[in-house]
Structure formats: structure tokens, C-alpha cells
Amino acid sequence: MTPVIETGGLTKRYRRVTALSECTISVPQGRISALVGPNGAGKTTLLRLLAGLATPTAGRAAVLGGAPRQDPAFLAEIGFLAQEIPLYRRMTTEDHIGIGAHLNPRWDGESARARLGDLKIPLDRPVGTLSGGQRAQVALALTLAKRPQVLLLDEPVAALDPLARRHFLATLADAVAEGGLTVILSSHLVADIERTCDHLILLASSRVQLCGDVEDLLSEHRVLVGPRKDTTAIERDHTVVQADRTARQTTLLVRLNGPVITGPEWEAGDVTLEDLVLGYMGADADPATGELATVGGLR
Amino acid sequence: MTWVIWRQYRVTTAIAVAILAAFAVVLLITGLQDATRWHNALASCGKTNTCGTLAQTVSLGSGPVNTLVVLTLIVPILFGMFGGGPAVARERETGTMQYAWTQSVTRWHWLSAKAGWLLLAGAVFGGLVAGIVTWWSGPVNALNQGQFQPGSFDVQGIVPIGYAVFAVALGIAAGALIGRSLPALAVTGGVFLALRLIVTYWVREHFMPAVTTVYSVTQNLSLNGATWTLAQGTVLPSGQFTTNLSVGPGHVVSGPTGPQVPAACQAATSINATITCMARLGYHSFATYQPGYRFWPFQFIETGTFVALAAALIAVTFLVVRRRDA
């Protein structure tokens, strides 16, 4: 099956800063993909390139089989929610539903009303007077009412309290369960990702570090705990993502390139999503900062 | 898009319509009063044969209303700053552009609709204000023949439409280029004002070659219609034209520098003797002017210029909106 979202060598430079470098990813249909990375890693840039709000400096992006472009038929398939949740603050939710009805071919205003009604969010108040959580819900409902095939959400839950966050992600999961929807959701809250997402894209320093189904990624990695000693043998067989050495033991996050064959002094354990995310993000951190020594060798 | 734009601008439109209505009422009442006074004056001067000097004996309008009419000069600038300026800039600044541009309409469609309606609104409102002012000025124009003068020319006829369209286009373009409302407002106001002043005081008079007439220093200048006099002065016996010396019935005024009354005429007993003496020595008066019948050609040239500039600005805006990221 061809992926719904695919990029190759996608690069975006602003004057001097490279926001995204040689980004190659692929997201199959029906996934909820978590786009993870530290601040400034290029998450927003990637989402904006995919939505057609920004144009790449180099490389290519394909969404639903074509480059993001100024074409009503393409735009109709994309749901985009920017980080700052921009809505017309003086207009009511009902006004926004009206705008959507006038600007989109398949508009499901009723579903938005029903969804927001369930959450007891008033439709007749200016959006600017709603709370941050309510505004995010309104924006998500509007984005879903467009009935897109691809949903690009930029840190939609960052500003929400834990309860609102759970509501929001539940709404999203319901929408995906209805079928036909592929989502990329940027976030830096691992707990939310673990509950909602089945695909992961990890960006750091404007580069892709990981991209794949969460299950596959977890099975490809192991945590090895062993004595403090030479790890050359392991590094020869596998890719050490991160090494954490204390006086008594060494903890390695490795990407397996084959079966794990180590001496009895090493103990291999499964990784969690959090291990993976923090491991790769840590690997990217400045090696000079303390004990968190890193060994390169990213793919 | 039309519905969306109406929803975005309906409050602004209502305010503009209310102000326009109040303005129309004031000018309608005072305009009717002026028309009555003008017709009465015409009727009575016809009986006494004093219609030639009517401009000295009758005055029309009143201080506050005349000021109001002059103030319509700023109508286009208001449209440019508060209609055009935020159109693109505000959406960029608040991020709503990302919302608007991810609906199922292209940026071109979005901009065409937005710019189109704003330009149309500018043209219609500018045209209505100008129409009311032109109607109101009818008696004043007939009496004073001043409609070609800078200040009057700029609020009557069709030029206000050109100004309004240009100001709106300038606001939209400045907003698209700068991306923030407040600086866009400032730039719109500044550029519009500068360009209007330059055109009014340095460019307009060259739309068509001015006419120069030379006449005797013993006569007054008499030109028919609403002429726009650009320069008046004296032709010296050498054939040189100077505005530093003005000679006419009952007056001789010379500047601190430049030509003076010739020594041969300074001993004359009266001012009229001096003038007669100068006429004998070969002094003439001259006037350079745009004839009154050029009022409408000038209106069309100036309107066309501003509309063409507006079109160029809108073209720039389309390029910016297509190229730039949201």
C-alpha cells in the first residue's frame, strides 16, 4: 500500500537557519503518528510543509500522492491545526461553522455542533472568550468537520490541562476509529503519545532520527545493562543509540542489527516508548553536558 | 468567500454607512439652503445688472460645513489604513491566515475575493462621498469658479474614487509585504499622503501643457471658466518672464530681488502713470494657466493614474501571497 504521507530529502531553510534537513519519512494510511522532538527540532516546519503553508527549499513531499499545492481538491483533504490555535477571536463558534460551510465542499457542521454540544461548549460566544481548552476543542471540531483524509496537528494539547487533554485525544481517537483518516500529531508529552499513537516520527536538530510503527520500533531496540567495561563488541554488532555509564554499570540503548548475542554479564530488556524517545533525544544532546555520554551511529 | 468577507466586515460596513448617512444629511440640508440662496441672488442680480460682481457680494456655505467638505480629503486614507491595511496583515499577525489557507480555497481565490470586495467598497464609498460633495459644490462652483484649484479638485468629480481605490490597494500591499498591521497602517498613511502631495503640487499641472497668455499691464486678467492659474507675472522688455514683478491696474508689486520699476517711470505722479509709463517701455503682464474646460480631462488622467498604480500594487500583492509562506 502506498503511504499517505511520504517525503524525500525534504529541506527548509530560512535565511541562515535550517529548520528541516533532508527529512525522509513515510506514514501509512490510518496511522496516528506522533511527531516528537525537542523545541526547534523542525516539527512545525514539517507540518506546515505538508499542509502547503510553506514551500520546501529542497526535496519533495507527497501527501495523498501529490505535492502539497494550491488546489481546492487537495486542500479539501487536509486538516491543519496550528500550534497557537488561530481562530477569529471576535467571531463565535457558530460563525466559524458557517465559514467552514462556505469554504469547504464536504462540510459536516452538524458533527461539529454535536461534538461541541457534548463538551458543553457554547456555540454563540466569541471564540476569544472561551478557555484555551475549549478553543482547542472548537478548532479540532472545525478541522474534523472538514472531513479531511489527512490531519496535521501541531502540539494541539500543549496548552491544555490533563483532563482537557484526555478529552481532546479521545475525540481524535474516535474520529480515527470512524475510518479513512491519517494523523500526524506533534507533541512532547510521551504519556499522551503512548496512549494514542501507533506510529512515531522523531526529529532532533532538524533531522529525522526515527520513523516507523511504534511496535516495530520497540521490537528493534533493547536496553542492555551490564558491567562497566569495553562495549566495542556490542557496537560492532548493533547500533548503540545512547550509552549511560556510571561507576558500577553501563546502560546501553541499542538498535538491533541481528539477534542479541552478548555475554552473560549483560542483561537485555525491552524498551518503552519513553526509553526510545528520551534515548534518541538524549543522543542528540550536547555531549559536554555531564554524565550523559553519547555514542553516535544513527542510521 | 463573499459570505466570509461579509461576516468579517459587516460591523465596519455598518459604521461606514452610518457615518456616510450622517454626512449626506448635513450636506443635503446645507446644499439645498445654498442652492436657494444662489438662485435668489441670481434672480436679484439679473434685475440690477450686478451679476458680474456676484462673487464679491454673495457668500455660500458656512465655516463648519466647508471644513467638513475639505475633510473628505481624508476619506481615502481612512479606507486605505483601516480597510486595506489589516486585510492581509492582521490575518498573518494573528495566525488566522493558517486557518484561512487550509480551508478548501486557494490563496489566489482568497486574495481575489478579499481585495476585490475591499476595492469595490473603497470605490463605492469614495464615489458616494465625492458625488455628494460635487452636488453640494454646484452653487459654490458656479459662484467662485474654484473647482480646478488644488483642494477643491481633489474632493470633487471622479478623482476621489481613484484615490480610494489606490489607498485600499496600497494598504493591502503594505500589509502583505510587511505582515504586521500597525506598521502597515503607518506606511499606508505616509506613502499615500506623500504621493498625493507630490501629484497635487508638482505633477498635476503637467498633465497637459499649460497655456500662457500675454496682455497689457494696464488691464486685469480676465479668463473664462474655472481656470487654474499656475503663475502670473510680468514680461520684461527684454522678453524675460518674471514672477517677481507684478503690475496691473492700481498695483505695482516688486520682489526684494529681481527686476524693479525702471528709473524712468519712478518719477511718475501716480501709480497709474507709472503703469502707463511701463506699458510704453514694453512691459507686459502674463498668466500661465490650465483652462477650465480641462477640468474633466484632468480628472480622468489623475483617476487613471491612481487606478493604474493600484493595479500594480495588487499585482505585487498576488506575487507576495503566492510566494510567501503563511
CA distance B289 to chain A (A): 54
pLDDT at A281: 83
Read off the pLDDT band of A296 (50, 70, 90).
Answer: very low
**A121 compared with A248, residue with greater pLDDT:** A121
Whether A75 sits inside 8 A of B104 (CB atoms) is: yes
* Residue in B closest to A88 by C-alpha: B96
Read off the pLDDT band of B177 (50, 70, 90).
Answer: very high
| SS3 per-residue string spanning B62-130 | CHHHHHHHHHHHHHHHHHHHHHHHHHHHHHHHHCHHHHHCCCCCCHHHHHHHHHHHHHHHHHHHHHHHH
pLDDT tens digits, residue range B228-243? 999 999 999 999 999 8
| Distance between CA atoms of residues A186 and B82, nearest Å | 37
Read off the pLDDT band of A261 (50, 70, 90).
Answer: low
CB A293 within 8 A of CB A279: no
pLDDT tens digits, residue range B213-226? 999 988 888 888 88
B8 interface with A at CB cutoff 8 Å: yes
Strands A182-186 and A32-36: parallel
Number of residues that this document lists for chain A: 299
| Distance between CA atoms of residues B132 and B136, nearest Å | 6
If we measure between CA atoms, which residue out of B292, B294, B289, B295 comes closest to residue B214?
B289
CA distance A95 to chain B (A): 8
A87 interface with B at CB cutoff 8 Å: yes
CA distance B16 to chain A (A): 19
Asked if the model's pLDDT at residue A298 lies above 80, the reply is no
When pLDDT is averaged across residues A88-103 and rounded to a whole number, the result is 94
**A125 compared with B253, residue with greater pLDDT:** A125
What ipTM describes this predicted complex? 0.85
Asked if the model's pLDDT at residue A291 lies above 70, the reply is no
| pLDDT, chain B, mean | 92
pLDDT at A292: 33
Mutate to test the interface with A, among B98, B109, B112 (most CBs of A within 10 A): B98
Whether B103 sits inside 8 A of A146 (CB atoms) is: yes
| Distance between CA atoms of residues B8 and A35, nearest Å | 35
Whether B325 sits inside 8 A of A105 (CB atoms) is: no
pLDDT at A262: 65
pLDDT tens digits, residue range A177-199? 887 899 999 987 888 888 889 99
Q: Which three cell numbers stand for residue A232?
A: 566495542
When pLDDT is averaged across residues A140-146 and rounded to a whole number, the result is 92
Share of chain B above pLDDT 70, in %: 100
**Beta-bridge partner residues of A226:** A250
pLDDT tens digits, residue range A57-93? 999 999 999 999 999 999 999 999 998 889 999 999 9
Residues of A in contact with B104 (CB under 8 A): 72-73, 75-76, 103-105, 146
- pTM of the prediction? 0.89
Q: Which residue has the cell 500675454?
A: B214
Read off the pLDDT band of A286 (50, 70, 90).
Answer: very low
B94 interface with A at CB cutoff 8 Å: yes
Residues of B in contact with A105 (CB under 8 A): 104
pLDDT at A218: 92
Asked if the model's pLDDT at residue A290 lies above 50, the reply is no
If we measure between CA atoms, which residue out of A225, A238, A223 comes closest to residue A274?
A223
Whether B103 sits inside 8 A of A100 (CB atoms) is: yes
Read off the pLDDT band of A175 (50, 70, 90).
Answer: confident
pLDDT at A285: 52
The winner for highest mean pLDDT among A32-41, A48-57, A163-172, A227-236 is A48-57
CB B230 within 8 A of CB B290: yes
| Distance between CA atoms of residues B172 and B122, nearest Å | 12
| Distances, alpha carbon B37 to alpha carbons B40, B47, B139, in Å | 5, 16, 9
Distance of CA A168 to the CA centre of its chain: 15
**A287 compared with A168, residue with greater pLDDT:** A168
Scored b (16 or more CB within 10 A) or e, B204-231 reads bbebeebeeeeeebeeeeeeeebbbeee
Whether A103 sits inside 8 A of B106 (CB atoms) is: no
Largest CA distance in chain B: 89
B263 interface with A at CB cutoff 8 Å: no
When pLDDT is averaged across residues A212-228 and rounded to a whole number, the result is 88
Asked if the model's pLDDT at residue A229 lies above 80, the reply is no
Distance of CA A20 to the CA centre of its chain: 14
Whether B106 sits inside 8 A of A78 (CB atoms) is: no
CB B27 within 8 A of CB B136: yes
